[in-house]
Amino acid sequence: MSKIAILNWADLSIGLSSQFETTINQEHLDLYSEISGDFNPMHTDDIYAKSKGFNQKILHGMLTSSLYSRLIGMYLPGKYCLLHGINISFISPVYAGDMLTISGEISYLNEAYKQVEIKANIRNKNNKKISKAKIKLGIME
């Protein structure tokens, strides 16, 4: 497990950023299918996914989007954050075994309410953007 960032409100500034890399594998896909109950053949059947124009079965968008939770909960800002909302756009498919880079940058701070907005994205090993997000969170010191 990664070490959790402990950034206080005073540590935050517009433009502050962080990123990490990870690989989502077949086991993650299987576990997410079990947890979510989503066994759509787009995620479970290579032949079906290929018939719809993909290289193979694709990962659930919400599985890859869970990495945004890791970004804010572990890296930026870390320990003191509480997710308020997230707006995600899915751009490209992700396949089991893809190396992903998840990055975010603080784009807005509201000192009165200790609210933060982070613009984030996930890119694959070819630097192709697979999703982008606007994340709203609060700081609970």
State the residue for tokens 């694959």.
124
Interval 5-26 mean pLDDT:
96
Q: What percent of the chain has pLDDT over 90?
A: 97
Q: Is 58 exposed, middle or buried (0-12, 13-18, 19+ CB in 10 A)?
A: buried
For 5, the 3-state DSSP assignment is coil
Look at the pTM and tell me if it is higher than 0.85: yes
Per residue in 94-103, pLDDT tens?
999 999 999 9
State the residue for tokens 């079906």.
48
pLDDT at 141: 85
Instruction: State which amino acid sits at residue 40.
Output: N
Domain range 9-139, its CATH number among 3.40.440.10, 3.30.1330.40, 3.30.70.1090, 3.10.129.10: 3.10.129.10
Per residue in 107-124, pLDDT tens?
999 999 999 999 999 999
